[in-house]
Amino acid sequence: MPQHDRPLTHDERKAAEAAFKGAPFDPKWSDAARKVYVGLSAAIANKRNEAFEEIRPSQSTTLTRRAVPESKERGRAKSSLW
């Protein structure tokens, strides 16, 4: 796909801003603006997925659970004060 070195048109710029902000696409914009919006939206979504993959631990961690539900624990704490 050839790359064009030219400034963005007004609607392409608006589409790019909308994609970065997560705003909806305006159907009044041109087909070129739609391509800008879709391309940037996809790239941003991929970056977010990559960031989440980096955050996930490489080894599974064990989560501990409380033996007594929190609501019962509060009740016990109150009764022990009296």
Residue 66 lies in a domain: no
Q: pLDDT tens-digit profile of 23-77?
A: 999 999 999 999 999 999 999 888 776 666 666 665 555 555 555 555 555 555 5
- For residue 52, what are the domain limits? 24-56
Q: pLDDT tens-digit profile of 28-43?
A: 999 999 999 999 999 9
Residue 43 lies in a domain: yes
Residue 61 lies in a domain: no
Whole-number Å distance between alpha carbons of 41 and 30: 16
Residue 38 lies in a domain: yes
| Count of the separate structural domains present in the chain | 1
Unique residue bearing structure tokens 């400034």: 7
Helix (H, G, I), strand (E, B) or coil at 12: helix
Residue 5 lies in a domain: no
pLDDT score at 56:
66
Beta carbons of 33 and 9 less than 8 angstroms apart: yes
Whole-number Å distance between alpha carbons of 68 and 70: 6
pTM of the model: 0.56
pLDDT score at 47:
79
Whole-number Å distance between alpha carbons of 52 and 46: 10
